Amino acid sequence: MAGENSEKVHDMHVLITGGAGFIGSHLAERHLALGDQVYVVDNLSTGSLANIDPFRGNPAFRFAEADILHWNGLDKAVAWADRIYHMAAVVGVKKVLEDPVAVMATNMTGTERLLRAIHHGGWNPQVIIASTSEVYGFNANSSFAETDHIVLPSAGRLRWAYAVTKLADEFLAFSYARKYGLNIVVVRLFNTIGPNQVGHYGMVVPSFVKQAVANEPLTVYGEGRQTRSFCDVRDTVVALDRLAASPEAWGEVVNVGNDQEISIRDLADLVVQRARSTSPLQFISYKDAYGEEFEDVTHRRPVLNKLRALTGFEPEWRLSDTLDDLIERECAKARRVA
C-alpha cells in the first residue's frame, strides 16, 4: 500500500488494550504485518481468542488475558510501548442497556488508569484513545464535525451512558495531554464494519449479513429511514496508524470513518441483493427492539476534513465490497457448520 513505509517507525512496540476485540485485532494484524512487536491485553468480555488465534504462534505477539481495571502488568507494558491503542471498552448499545455499571467502570476508570500509567512511565509513547460518534449525542444534524456542539438529554437516560463515558475519556485524555505533554490523539469512530465484528451486541451489518445468508428476515428497526456511514475496519486501522504518527494530531480529537451514507432500509436491500438471498425485510418498532427508553440517532455521517488534512486518508473499501467479503465469510462459516 502507498505510504506504508513512511508510516512505519521501525520495530515498534505496540500495546493494544482490547486487542482481542473487533478493531483491536485488526490493529494487531496490521502491526504484525509491518514487522512490529504487538502486546495485546484483553479480558475477553466482548473480544475472543478466535480473533487473535492467527497470531498466537508469532514470536512478535504477546497476549495477556486481564482486565484493564486490575491488570498488574500495566505499568511494565506501558513503559515498554512506543505506541498504545486504547480500545478496551464495553461497547454496543444493547450491552450498554443491559449493564450500565460495567460500562461506566471499564470505560472511565480503565482509561484513567492507563493515562496515569503513561504519565508515570517516564516515556512518551504515541497514544490513540478510542472515542465514538455517539458523543455527538441526540443531535438532529445530518453530519458531524469535531467543532459541533454535543446534544445530550439531561433526564438520566441510560441509553446515553456509553456516550457520557466516552466523553469523559476524551476530557481525561485532553487533560493529561495538556498538563503532562502526552502525545495523545482522540479518535471518534463512526460505524466501523468488517470481519470479526459480531451481531449479538446489536450492530446492524453483521446482523443483516447473518440473517441474509440464513434466508431469515432482516430486522429493520423503525422505518429504516435512519442513515449511517459505514467504514471498513481495514481502512480504519490505516487512519489510526497515521494519526498516531502525526505530531500535528497530538492533543486533537479527530473523526474517523467513511462519509458515504446509506439508509438502513437501503442497506437491508443491498445485503439481500449481494447475498442473493430470499430474506424478506421485517420492520420492528424501536420499542420492541430496545425497550421504552431508546432514542435513535437519525443520521450519522462524519465530516472528514480534519482527518484528510492531517493524514491524507481516503477510505479504499466500498460498502458493497465489504458486504461481499462478509457474505463470503458467513457462507464459508455456514458450510463448516453443516
Residue 228 touching ligand UDP (CB under 6 A): yes
Q: Please say whether the beta carbons of 185 and 313 come within 8 A.
A: no
Is residue 220 part of the contact set for ligand UDP (CB under 6 A)?
yes
Cα-based distances in Å from 99 to 96, 204, 245 = 5, 20, 35
Minimum separation from the CB atom of position 149 to ligand UDP (A):
19
162 catalytic? Reply is: yes
Q: How many residues bind ligand UDP (CB under 6 A)?
A: 14
Place of cell 504477546: 62
Query: Within a 13 Å sphere around the CA of 48, how many CA atoms are in the beta-carbon half?
Result: 7
Nearest residue (CB) to ligand UDP, 112 versus 296: 296
Residue 262 interacts with ligand UDP (CB under 6 A)? no
Judged by CB, which is closer to ligand UDP: 83, or 228? 228
| Residues between 92 and 151 that touch ligand UDP (CB under 6 A) | 93
By CB under 6 A, is residue 322 in contact with ligand UDP? Answer: no
Closest Cα to residue 104, out of 158, 151, 161, 160? 161
Site for ligand UDP in 21-50 (CB under 6 A): none
Q: Which stretch binds ligand UDP (CB under 6 A): 116-124, 220-228, 269-277, 327-335?
A: 220-228
Written as nine digits, the cell of 112 is 484513567
Q: Is position 265 an interface residue for ligand UDP (rule: CB under 6 A)? A: no
Q: Which of 136, 162, 176, 290 is catalytic?
A: 162
Binders in 71-100 for ligand UDP, by CB under 6 A: 93
Binding mask 188-217 for ligand UDP (x = CB under 6 A): ---x----------xxx--x----------
Comparing C-alpha atoms, which of 249, 230, 190, 173 is closest to residue 7?
Answer: 249
Q: Which stretch binds ligand UDP (CB under 6 A): 45-53, 110-118, 180-188, 221-229?
A: 221-229
- What distance in Å separates the CA atoms of residue 241 and residue 83, rounded to the nearest whole number? 9
- Contact yes or no for 129/89 (Cβ under 8 A): no
**Candidates 45-53, 181-189, 218-226, 255-263; binding stretch for ligand UDP (CB under 6 A):** 218-226
Round the CA-based radius of gyration of the chain to a whole number and report it: 19
- Residue number with CB closer to ligand UDP (222 or 251): 222
Helix segments in the chain, DSSP class H? 4-7, 22-33, 49-52, 74-80, 93-98, 100-104, 110-120, 161-180, 204-213, 233-244, 264-274, 286-290, 305-311, 319-337
Q: Interface with ligand UDP by CB under 6 A: which range of 4-12, 219-227, 254-262, 312-320?
A: 219-227
Q: Binding of ligand UDP at residue 162 (CB under 6 A)?
A: no
Handedness of CA 151, 156, 157, 163 (dihedral sign): positive
Question: Is the CB of 92 or the CB of 121 nearer to ligand UDP?
Answer: 92
Distance CA(9)–CA(245), nearest Å, equals 8
Q: For residues 262 and 228, is the Cβ–Cβ distance under 8 A?
A: yes
The helix (H) or strand (E) run that includes residue 40 is strand 37-42
Our finding on whether 226 is near ligand UDP (CB under 6 A) is yes
Residues that bind ligand UDP (CB under 6 A): 93, 191, 202-204, 207, 219-221, 226, 228, 264, 296, 300
Q: Which residues are catalytic?
A: 162
